[in-house]
Structure 1
Amino acid sequence: MDSKTLGKEKSISTQGTSPLPSVWGSHRALDPQSGMAGSRALLLLAQVLGLAATEMALLTMDPPWSTIFRGESVTLRCRGSHPHRQQPTTWYHNDKILARTDTDTYRITNARQKQTGRYKCQSPGSVSSNPITLIVSYDWLILQVPSHVVFEGEPLCMQCRGWDPGSMTSVRYFRDGADITTLYASDKQLCIPQAKTHQSGRYRCTGQMNSFLSVIKRESQELHVFIKELFSSPVLSVASSAETLEGSPLNLSCVTHLSPHSPHTILWYLFYRNSTVLQGPETSSKYQVPTVGLADTGSYFCEVQADNSSIRKQSAQVPIAVRRVPVSGVSLDVQPHEGQLMEGQRLVLSCSVAAGTGSISFSWHREGSAEVLGKGTRYEILSAQQNDDGQYYCMASNGDVPAQSPRLQVTVVGVSSLFYCHIRAPLLLAALGSLLSGLVAVHVLTARSKDPTGVKQ
């Protein structure tokens, strides 16, 4: 392959008009406008707290292809959390130390098959980087796929290259055996604008190559391409598993897990009730209602979206029913005291509750009767009669299960009974007194008839 071809390939990976830089730029942590400021703030906070502020270094390759022809060149770049430290960068090939450099780059020129393998790096102040696999091929035809991680929602671009690019025609692309050329291919490159995780698979390409006076169909090696999940599908978590009562707080969390390969990606959260946005988009994954009411009943879910990405994911819906605080502690008060009164007196019963929210309704009842005597917190009988005797109680409800008070005995003493006790009793005593007086008189007369003074001398 001549130098013009190499120069052309290098320009493809660096020109802003090519779709490749979109993939290459998927590591948003490298852009100071998108993530580096947040990274430095986190590091500063960790240092203040005395924590270990080490991050994984990021290894990239230019051109960004995992497969190259023998004799081509690539540049490895290692970026860590402390790029300005004057310490060497360590490079590894198949887990063995390859070199130490004073810069964050390592150049492979005139590549040979022995340089095939897995590369890693370690920059000052960072832990060992992500691995990158480089394949130095001696084949006639290769499929070049990104060497870096491609996340869902990002473009996935690849190209089919022949050893002699000018002689190749009729390029076709396949995934898991299915021809996908007409769906995504343009000229000699294939780009999926917004890759999905289910588009991971085994990719290969074929092409017709002119060889002297014949045309030979060539086929590349099959490569596994994995579209990584940027963040997991969120789950809406309710802080308390108990029922939600009116007046209590409601605390919701939208739980998701960001890929460790994209630690600086900013996630935005939205919270919904019955498809209405309650909060967001915000970077906070929590939603709080200090005091809930019945109007807060509904179906809740959350949505997560990544900054500078088309990926949005929603949680499953969680029904939350806000119930009133049940009525409890129903008690009775009565006047006169202890519920004992004379016929004709006024009877006043009062009902109250110790707990319960919302509009509470009261009803009055007497044991043995299905009739509702009255409504409200008070029940009065202006002139009690003897037939008002009985056990009284009240029922209280706020729309939930009614609560009942203890029963209270009411005793009404009739006027006739009082007259018998207070009028007839003295008359009986008077009659008994007259009888006793008569008996005394008879006794005296009898005694006198036996006196000796009555005997003649």
Structure 2
Amino acid sequence: MQPSLLPFLLLLVLAGRKAANLSKSIVTLYPPWFHVLKNDLVTLRCEGSGTPEGNSILWLHNDTIIPVQIQDYNIITKNISYSGKYQCQRGQSALSEPVGLEVFPDWLVLQTLKLVYMKGESMVLRCHSWENKGISKVTFYQNGIGRKFFQHDSNFSISKVDSNDNGDYFCSATIRNRRETSRVVRITVQDPSSSTSSSSKIWYILFYLVMGVLFAADTGLYFTLKREINGPKNKRRPLTRWR
């Protein structure tokens, strides 16, 4: 290894260790739904390691700083401009991963905790009405087929999802003697074994790719040093006797 590369590699190692020790902040939604309606109250909580000094918490909405520095950021989604990604940074933690929030100007919205479930997980769906208006005759649809009907209950749950639960979901309900329908939400169910196998293949490919690059670099460095050692400047002149 060339001596000039050593300080650079040491800096990379130290930077990697520092990044690994710096945990990320986390944004949590209360209630936990990321699809909401106009005039809904949503609380975003910023959690992270360390204690923020003087409530110095950084909030971002679509990469723009929000002028608040509190742990619980309450918003009323007055219009769709509140849609987008939210991030925060608290104390000694790093900036959080973005959490998406989507606001719809509708009468109904189908809410779920996430869009991708693993096989065997439980799934909860909620048919939510604008300003929590009273609803009745709630029906949940999967791929256009009515799956469950409730007179007043707006929640539908599946204890263990499988591949048959893939599809497009929406709900309908009666509000003030009018039948309203939500937008479609696509939900995917994945098999953990297949995803693990795919990720393992990716790691194997990355491993052999890195090893190949390192081997090529070492080989090139070896022949470079060999040429320098055997070059004309490094050849010794034959000894001659004094006459």
Q: Report the TM range for the smaller structure's normalisation.
A: 0.5 to 0.7
- TM-score normalized by structure 1? 0.35
- After superposing on structure 2, the runs of 4+ consecutive aligned residues of structure 1 that deviate more than 4 Å are 147-152, 164-167, 226-235
Distance (whole Å) between structure 1 residues aligned to residue 65 and residue 169 of structure 2: 32
Displacement of 1:156 in angstroms is 1.6
User: Which residue type is aligned with residue 169 of structure 2?
Assistant: Y
2:40 matches 1:72: yes
**Structure 2 residue matching 1:126: 3-state secondary structure:** coil
1:94 aligned to which of 62, 86, 99? 62
* Counterparts of residues 233-382 of structure 1 (less than 5 Å): none
- Please report the RMSD computed on the Cα atoms of aligned residues, expressed in angstroms: 3.6
The 1:126–1:165 alpha-carbon spacing in structure 2 relative to 1, beyond 3 Å, is closer
Distance (whole Å) between structure 1 residues aligned to residue 30 and residue 145 of structure 2: 30
Task: Give a deviation string over 1:322-374, Cα, whole Å, max 9, x none.
Answer: xxxxxxxxxxxxxxxxxxxxxxxxxxxxxxxxxxxxxxxxxxxxxxxxxxxxx
1:63 aligned to which of 31, 35, 45? 31
Larger Rg: 1
2:175 matches 1:209: yes
**Structure 2 residue matching 1:114: 3-state secondary structure:** helix
Displacement of 1:149 in angstroms is 7.3
| Aligned twin of 2:165 | 199
| Aligned twin of 1:161 | 128
| Aligned twin of 1:121 | 88
CA contact (8 A) 1:142 1:220 kept: yes
The 1:166–1:175 alpha-carbon spacing in structure 2 relative to 1, beyond 3 Å, is same
Distance (whole Å) between structure 1 residues aligned to residue 26 and residue 39 of structure 2: 26
The 1:84–1:152 alpha-carbon spacing in structure 2 relative to 1, beyond 3 Å, is farther
CA contact (8 A) 1:151 1:195 kept: yes
Distance (whole Å) between structure 2 residues aligned to residue 199 and residue 185 of structure 1: 23
1:220 aligned to which of 178, 182, 203? 182
The 1:228–1:99 alpha-carbon spacing in structure 2 relative to 1, beyond 3 Å, is farther
**Structure 2 residue matching 1:56: 3-state secondary structure:** coil
- TM-score normalized by structure 2? 0.60
Distance (whole Å) between structure 2 residues aligned to residue 228 and residue 118 of structure 1: 25
CA contact (8 A) 2:24 2:95 kept: yes
CA contact (8 A) 1:121 1:128 kept: yes
| Aligned twin of 2:102 | 135
Gaps of 5+ in 1: 1-45, 236-254, 258-457
The 1:118–1:148 alpha-carbon spacing in structure 2 relative to 1, beyond 3 Å, is farther
Displacement of 1:234 in angstroms is 5.2
* Counterparts of residues 10-29 of structure 1 (less than 5 Å): none
Gaps of 5+ in 2: 1-12, 203-243
2:156 aligned to which of 190, 201, 206? 190
The 1:232–1:188 alpha-carbon spacing in structure 2 relative to 1, beyond 3 Å, is same
Q: Percent identical across equivalent pairs? A: 25
**Structure 1 residue matching 2:81: 3-state secondary structure:** helix
User: Which residue type is aligned with residue 57 of structure 2?
Assistant: T
User: Which residue type is aligned with residue 146 of structure 1?
Assistant: L
User: Which residue type is aligned with residue 209 of structure 1?
Assistant: I
Distance (whole Å) between structure 2 residues aligned to residue 57 and residue 231 of structure 1: 30
The 1:77–1:192 alpha-carbon spacing in structure 2 relative to 1, beyond 3 Å, is same
Distance (whole Å) between structure 1 residues aligned to residue 193 and residue 25 of structure 2: 20
Larger fraction in helix: 2
Distance (whole Å) between structure 1 residues aligned to residue 97 and residue 135 of structure 2: 35
Displacement of 1:64 in angstroms is 0.9
2:111 matches 1:111: no
The 1:216–1:234 alpha-carbon spacing in structure 2 relative to 1, beyond 3 Å, is closer
CA contact (8 A) 1:132 1:148 kept: no
CA contact (8 A) 1:64 1:148 kept: no
User: Which residue type is aligned with residue 184 of structure 2?
Assistant: E
Distance (whole Å) between structure 1 residues aligned to residue 117 and residue 59 of structure 2: 23
Displacement of 1:119 in angstroms is 1.6
The 1:112–1:229 alpha-carbon spacing in structure 2 relative to 1, beyond 3 Å, is farther
